Amino acid sequence: MRILIVEDDPDLSLWLQAKLTAAMGTVDTVASIEAALAALAVAPFELVILDRRLPDGDGVTLLAELRRLRPRPGTVMLTALDDPQEIAAALDGGADDYVSKPFEPTELIARARAVLRRCSWDQGAAIHAGNIRFDVGERSAFCDGVPMVLPRRELAILELLVRRLGRVVLRETLDNAVYSFDDEIQSNALDSHVSRLRRKLRDAGSSVSVRAIRGVGYMMSADDPE
């Protein structure tokens, strides 16, 4: 999962990035509507956390652009404390939910997960491949009902492979899900993540296999031993 934070307060932005990265996945941060549009043009995001007051305008104006994207990302608007007009403007503009400042990270994370469960790109709370179940809302994976302990990047790779069972997932698509714009990526980093994931799937007794498609990407198959 990849998340975009649009917030011009650098301290709040870094704090949000740390909290959401630990709880949900890969997080990018930008400080303006213009920068947000540039980020959305080059990478897919499942969730956008959007402030109302930005240097180059009202964050609500970005909502119209977000609604045109397919698949459409979930949106959570950050609004001023107890301001009914700002809350109404955010929801009327197309935000899926709002959080009033100041807020606790647990509230934002819970609301973000609820938005993702409701959004059209996530029909159903869980997806399956063989005896692997991936709980999208909770960001957790299970093999035969037993929780799998996976770091966030391996979790992101597993989600994409399960979603596209039997189809090739391009390296570029995997990179976009796993790394933020600021990450320094080693040439074989993705392969190392996939190798560790494959080992953990095998050790857990999974009925799926992950096969490298040379120069293209990876594909997961169910009940297809390596």
pLDDT, averaged across the chain: 87
- Considering the chain, tell me which residue range(s) the CATH 3.40.50.2300 domain(s) occupy: 2-118
Residue 187's contacts (CB-CB under 8 Å, 6 or more residues apart) are none
The pLDDT of residue 215 is: 84
Mean pLDDT of 180-197: 86
The pLDDT of residue 180 is: 85
Residue 186 predicted with pLDDT over 80: no
The pLDDT of residue 205 is: 93
Considering the chain, what percentage of its residues have pLDDT values greater than 70?
A: 95
User: What Å distances lie between residue 18 and 23, 27, 91, CA to CA?
Assistant: 9, 8, 26
Residues paired with 169 in a beta bridge = 218
Nearest to 102 by CA among 81, 122, 75: 81
Residue 94 predicted with pLDDT over 70: yes
- The hierarchical CATH code for the domain 126-222 is 1.10.10.10
* Domain 2-118 CATH (choose: 3.40.1170.10, 3.30.230.70, 3.40.50.2300, 3.40.720.10): 3.40.50.2300
| pLDDT-based confidence at residue 81 (cuts at 50, 70, 90) | low
Instruction: Answer whether the bond into residue 84 is a cis peptide, omega within 30°.
Output: no
Express each pLDDT in 32-75 by its tens digit: 999 999 999 888 898 999 998 899 998 888 988 888 887 788 89
The pLDDT of residue 55 is: 94
Mean pLDDT of 69-91: 82
Angle at 10 between CA 81 and CA 76, to 5 degrees: 45
The pLDDT of residue 23 is: 85
Mean pLDDT of 146-164: 91
Express each pLDDT in 100-140 by its tens digit: 888 898 999 999 988 887 774 444 568 889 999 998 777 78
Contact 132, 198 (CB under 8 A): no
The pLDDT of residue 199 is: 94
Considering the chain, what percentage of its residues have pLDDT values greater than 90?
A: 46
- Considering the chain, tell me which residue range(s) the CATH 1.10.10.10 domain(s) occupy: 126-222
CA gap 141, 1 in Å, rounded:
14
